[in-house]
Amino acid sequence: MPKFAQVNEFEMMKKLLFFALLGAFVACSGPAKESETENPFANASLVGNYGETIDAKNAISPSEMMSRLEKADTINVKVQAEITATCAAKGCWMNLKLEDGEEMRVTFKDYAFFVPTEGMQGNKAVIEGVVSRTLTDVATLKHFAEDAGKPQIEIDAITEPKKEYKFEATGVIIYSEEETE
């Protein structure tokens, strides 16, 4: 056998061994962990998924959402925020905290799913869907206040329409504030 053929066989065996070891290393390393930017709730307890299946990857803050709404009246977006209230009657809406202290009403597309009616305040949610700026009329505001179990005096005090952000979610994930180890 010529000398150059032996060198090529030796080099070929080294490469084959290298790739075999690399493949074994990758196979044994297990699944990669999600980074906090992919899922900022990776260490939180999952309460539940509602509606269409979504994940928390690339969810933006409410301030980023509002910034994007300055350029368009309606946008498709995935947002993460704190839950401030849910519909006590059916779980057919929830409010999320915006960074300016205001709240954003979230309803669910085609009334197709609901969230828990109690114990969600303070939990974090990731929602995906369509958000728009809107003017909510007095009758609707009073209806939402009734659903939330507000006292009649608060309901009667609603006399003006309100400029709001309206979010129609196709999917929701709720995470508990309690962290898991």
Can you read off the two tokens belonging to residue 169?
């979610």
pLDDT in tens, 135-180: 889 999 998 888 878 899 999 999 999 888 889 999 999 999 765 4
CA distance 77 to 54: 12
pLDDT for 43? 77
pTM here is 0.69
Amino acid at 126: V
Poorest-confidence range of 38-47, 48-57, 67-76, 121-130?
Answer: 38-47
Q: Which of 159, 161, 127 is nearest to 52 (CA)?
A: 127
CA angle centred on 118, ends 81 and 96, rounded to 5°: 20
Q: How far apart are CA 116 and CA 88, in angstroms?
A: 8
Give the span between the Cα atoms of 49 and 78, in whole angstroms: 14
Please state which CATH class domain 44-179 belongs to.
mainly beta
Domain boundaries along the sequence of the chain: 1-30, 44-179
pLDDT tens digits, residue range 94-125?
999 998 888 899 999 999 999 999 989 999 99
Q: What does the pLDDT read at residue 181?
A: 42
Amino acid type, 164 = E
